[in-house]
Structure 1
C-alpha cells in the first residue's frame, strides 16, 4: 500500500471534520479534541510499530485504522451532544456507517478493508471477542494500545489543568462525589479493566481510565505511560481515600512490573 492512500484518506478526514460546527463552545472544543486525538493515535501507531515488526504497507494500514477509529464521535457529538454510547447512539456503528456511505476504503483490498473495520469495531471493547481473525488481531491490538495511551494523555491533562465541570461531556456528566464503587475497586484489585457500566461517579471514571493499563499489549506502551506519569497526574486530582490509595498502589506496581 502506498503512502498516497493514507494521504487521500487524511485529506477526506480533515474536510469531513471541518464540516462540523456548533454554537456551543464546549462541543466545538470537543470536536477539536477528537480531531487531534485521531491524529495522535495515528502517530502513536508509528511509534509503537517498531515492536510489532510491521512492514511499510501494514504500518500505513494500521495508521488508517487509527485515524478513523473514532470517526463516529463527530456525528455523535453534534447530533446527540454526548460521548456516551448506548445501543441507539453508538459511535462505532456511526463511524462504520459513515465510512461505508462515503466509500472511504475504496482504494483498499477486501482483506485490508476488513482489518480497518475490525480495528474500529473493537477498539474500545472491554474484552476482545475470540472471533477476531488472526490477520486483524495485531492491528486491533495496536490501535487499542495507541487509543488508550492518548486517552490517558487527554484526561491526565484535563483533570490536572481544568476546573471540575468545565467539560461535562468529557466527564460523561458524572457527579464529583468522593465515593468509589465497590465493583470499580474490586476490578482494579483483580488487575482488570473496569467495566464502564460500573462507573457511577467522576472518581470512578478516573479509576476506569487508569485501569486501561491492564489491557495494554506492548512493552513500549507501558514505557510511554510510565515516562509520561499519567497515572500519577490523575491520582493527584482524586480524594486520598483508602480505596483510592490502594487502587493506585496496585496499578503502579502492575505498571512497574511490565517495564
Structure 2
C-alpha cells in the first residue's frame, strides 16, 4: 500500500514536471536539472535511511518529502525565471501551495501531510529550528543531508567545468567578485553554516554551500562528501587568498574528524 501511494505521487510529479517546457535554453536546462535533483535526492535519502532507525510509514513520508521538496522551484523558474528566494517569490511557499491546491497528498492522513510540509518548510534553512514537529525531525535531517549532498554534486561540477555566468540562475544571479566578508569567514572558522543572508557574491555562495558540512547529520553523509571530493573541487575554483586557505583547512579538518 505504501509503495502504491508513493507511485501515485511520483506519477503526478512526472506529469506535472514533464508538462513544463521553455524556449529559453537555460530555463529548460534548469527544469531538467531540478527533475533529476528530485529523483537523486530520493535515492540518496534511501541510502542514508539504512543508518537511521525509521519505520515503514516514516520511510514512505521521507521518500515523498524528498521527491516533492523542491517542487516549488518549477513555478519559481517558469514564472519568475529565478532560483533566488525572496519574501514574495519563495520556492517553499510555492511548493506547499501547489501540493495543497492539487491535493497531491490526498492519500495521507492529516498528521502525515503535516510532516511532509514541515520537512519541505525546513529543508533549506541554515539550522533546523527547535520548534520543528518532533515526529518530523529524523525525516527532516535525512532530507537535508540528501538534498545538500546532491546539491554539492551539482554545483561542484558546475563551478569546475563551466565559465562564470553560464547559468546565472544556478549562481543565484550573484556577482563574481573576489571579496569575502568577515561574517562569512567567522562563521566557517567557528564551524557554523554561513547564513544565507550574508551571501552577497558568488564566492560567498560557494563557501556557504561548502559550509553545509557543519550541519550534516549522518556518518554516511560525511563519507560521501569526502569520497566525492566536493570540498576540494569547489575550493579549487576560489581565489587562493590566506583567508580562503584558512577556511578550507578548517572545513577539511572538520570533515576528516567525522569519518
Q: TM-score, normalised by structure 2?
A: 0.98
Separation of aligned partners in 2, 1:188 and 1:207? 8
Separation of aligned partners in 1, 2:66 and 2:79? 23
Instruction: Look up the SS of the partner of 2:153 in the other structure.
Output: helix
- Which residue in 1 is equivalent to 2:235? 235
- Stretches of 4+ moved more than 4 A in 1? none
Matched, 1:5 2:5: yes
- Which residue in 2 is equivalent to 1:179? 179
Matched, 1:150 2:122: no
Q: How does 1:25-174 map to 2 (within 5 A)?
A: 25-174=25-174
Kindly report the root-mean-square deviation, in angstroms, between the aligned alpha carbons of the 2 structures: 0.9
Instruction: Look up the SS of the partner of 1:136 in the other structure.
Output: helix
Separation of aligned partners in 2, 1:233 and 1:60? 34
- Which residue in 1 is equivalent to 2:201? 201
Instruction: Look up the SS of the partner of 1:135 in the other structure.
Output: helix
Give 1:134 shift: 1.3
Separation of aligned partners in 2, 1:125 and 1:180? 21
Q: How many residues align?
A: 259
Give 1:53 shift: 1.8
- Which residue in 2 is equivalent to 1:214? 214
Which runs of 5 or more residues in structure 1 are unaligned?
A: none
Deviations 1:159-196 (A, max 9, x none): 11111111011011111111111111111011110011
Instruction: Look up the SS of the partner of 1:28 in the other structure.
Output: helix
Which runs of 5 or more residues in structure 2 are unaligned?
A: none
